A and B are shown apart, each in its own frame.
Chain A
Amino acid sequence: MARAKKNVRKSGRRHPLATAALVAVGLLVTGAAYTGFSQTSATAEIDLESPATIEAGEKLFGANCATCHGANAQGTEDGPSLIGAGAASVNFQVGTGRMPLAFQGPQGMVKPQQFTEEQTLQMAAYVASLAPGPALPDSRYIQADSDDEGIARGGQLFRINCAMCHNVAAAGGALTQGKFAPKLTGVPATHIYEAMVTGPQNMPVFSDANISPQEKADIISYLKYIENQPAVGGLTLGSIGPVAEGLFIWVIGLGAIVGLTVWVTAKSN
């Protein structure tokens, strides 16, 4: 592009093609700039390091979170300290709608998000600025694009580390006193990754030293793989195992047998 400009200049600004070239260059630059601009606004790519973002996040935090987490995120009786919680934790808790809590209960529930993605990231930037903590996942690891070998490895890791709570089909399961491990189907890869790194609520932490980022990507790939697999057995009944299946066979199966028995022994009218 620069060379083209030079040539234009050398051969003379009054060349008949100069106007056309100038218009072309102008259009290209405007187009490129516009494309770049619209992309940033579409994915809310905001700079988490910039003081403006952090300041915006601090304001949002003061208005929405400080009641429980303290004015400086130091924690109160009603909520834990967020110093060192990291951007990943904020993005998970606020991005899934768990925070702000609707009420104090056994555990925070998923609900419609209260903040835009931009606002969430601003708060994440503020919390991350307080002390180092788990950062947002690298986009490489949340593509769910592992090859077959990676998916198999992810499945093995999932069965050892996750399946006892989240169910072998990732359908979720009950814990103690009203707590539960949520189902993992339909959860965005980013949030799965962030949950592993930060250990939200009663979930243990699976730091990068325990399960490496690539292994986490494999687990996510596996989850997306089983989510997209058709159920070979037909109706899954929620994949939650013997309770749903037992209920089905006792109510529907036995009901049909009782109905047939009544019909066989009834006198024809």
Chain B
Amino acid sequence: MAEEAKNNGGTDAVVAAQGHSSVEAAAGTAVIASDAVQNPGLPPHRKRVTDLDPKKEKRAERTVYTLFYISIAGSLGAVLAYMFFPIETGEMLAIRLHTMFVGLGMALALLAVGVGAVHWGKAIMADHESIDVRHPVPSDEPTREAAAEVFRLADEESGFSRRSLVRNSLIGALIAFPLPGITLLRGLAPQDRDPVQLLKHTMWDKGVRLARDPSGVPIKASEVTIGSAFHVIPETLNHEDFHNLSLDERGGSETLLDAKAKAIVLLMRLDQSELKELPERKNWSYDGIIAYSKVCTHVGCPVALYEQHTHHLLCPCHQSQFDVSEHAKVVFGPAKRPLPQLPITVDDEGYLVAQSDFHEPVGPSFWERLK
């Protein structure tokens, strides 16, 4: 069978002229059915009920002008709503009622006009069916030749092709024109400072106390109970102290919010038996208290959904998960590297202090390659 089909080379096409059952065609032979769907053409014109029944037409007419009257009522209603639901009281509920009723009135006004107009067109306006035959897209030959002639003449009279110096200097001028606009974009990036350095350095430094966000009250190691989570900022990150700091002490950031965006830290205390620390980071924690940057290494969302029992930190933006009991390694999600750890210790008054800045740039992994 297969061989036969092969021999035929697929060129055999049997037209099933005598009906399906009477033809014995070899398997694999294309059969062109004689009962293929014919172009049915346009269906006969069907009259609408409004064409046949004058009562129905009257009713459609009534519907249309009623809709237009409803629209007028909606517009006036919006004006009345503006008057009778004022927002001067300052109450939140007043704003809601005001917005709702003014909006409803205007929506009704527009919707009723639209629905009425469409209904008018569909049910009452004359109902003819006609065919618009498509015309070819290109213009006819004489028009095209006339257009080409215009261009040829313009070129000849202006000397665009002939005077190449004029032409080329014009092209040059047009190319140069957008340059100032592109140059202005430079103003969006930090001026005179290396963005890599800006992201590498934060306000954390040797001896900077860890303080609560937003009060700025420094945290004593003894206050951090097991299972606790503290949201931490550097002690000097407040409006009074910040402006007295040098740019270097601010981690290179000019504004308080820029500095805060880089320096936010989450402080947690785990049972020390559950903490698996890297040998080189053994002295980065204090009595089970660990501090990690709160900026996700994926695209920089604040990672702060801390689960006390699993020790997982979840980033709410793209579901990256970090295991804080194991140097914040990534256990799930799109983040590519662990959260940077802030080395901490205590000062002689018992307050938690940073040992140094972060040892790597905080934030998205993009910057890692610039280390």
A residues neighboring B (CB under 8 Å): 156-157, 160-161, 164-165, 173, 175-176, 179, 181, 199, 201-207, 209-210, 229-234, 263-264, 267-269
A210 engages B228 (CB within 8 Å): yes
Q: How far is the CA of A226 from the CA of B36 in the complex (A)?
A: 69
Q: Which of B134-142, B185-193, B299-307, B354-362 contacts A (4 or more CB under 8 A)?
A: B299-307
- Chain A contact residues: over half helix, strand or loop, or mixed? loop
Once the chains are docked, how many angstroms separate the CA of A181 from the CA of B122? 54
Pick from B93, B118, B308, B309: contact of A264, CB under 8 Å: B118
Is B262 at the interface (CB under 8 A from chain A)?
A: no
Q: Which of B224, B226, B307 contacts A175 (CB 8 A)?
A: B307
A176 in contact with B223 (CB, 8 Å): no
Output the least CB separation between B117 and chain A (Å).
Answer: 10
Do residues B122 and A176 form an inter-chain contact, with CB atoms below 8 A? no
Query: CB distance A176 to B310 under 8 Å?
Result: yes
**B225 within 8 A of partner (CB):** yes
B111 to chain A, nearest CB (A): 10
Could you give 18 example pairs across A and B, Cβ below 8 Å?
A156-B214, A160-B213, A161-B229, A161-B231, A164-B304, A173-B316, A175-B314, A176-B310, A176-B319, A202-B308, A206-B229, A207-B223, A209-B222, A209-B225, A232-B96, A263-B118, A267-B122, A269-B48
Which A residues lie within 8 Å of B309 (CB)? 201-202
Q: Contact at B305–A206, with CB atoms within 8 Å? A: no
**A233-B222 Cα distance, complex, nearest whole Å:** 45
B321 at the interface (CB under 8 A from A): yes
Which of A157, A161, A176, A207 makes the CB contact (< 8 A) with B307? A176
Question: Given the complex, which residues of A lie within 8 Å of B222, measured CB to CB?
Answer: 209
Check A205/B225 contact, CB under 8 A, given A210-B212, A230-B96: yes
B365 at the interface (CB under 8 A from A): no
Knowing A160-B231, A204-B268, A210-B228 are in contact, say whether A268-B48 is a contact too (CB < 8 A): yes
Contact at B93–A204, with CB atoms within 8 Å?
Answer: no
Interfacial chain B residues near A210, Cβ < 8 Å: 212, 223-224, 228, 230
B227 touches A199 (CB 8 A): yes
Q: Which residues of B contact A179 (CB under 8 A)?
A: 307
Most buried by A among B49, B213, B309, B312: B309
* Closest CB in chain B relative to A181 CB, distance in Å: 8
In the complex, chain A residues whose CB is within 8 Å of the CB of B230? 210
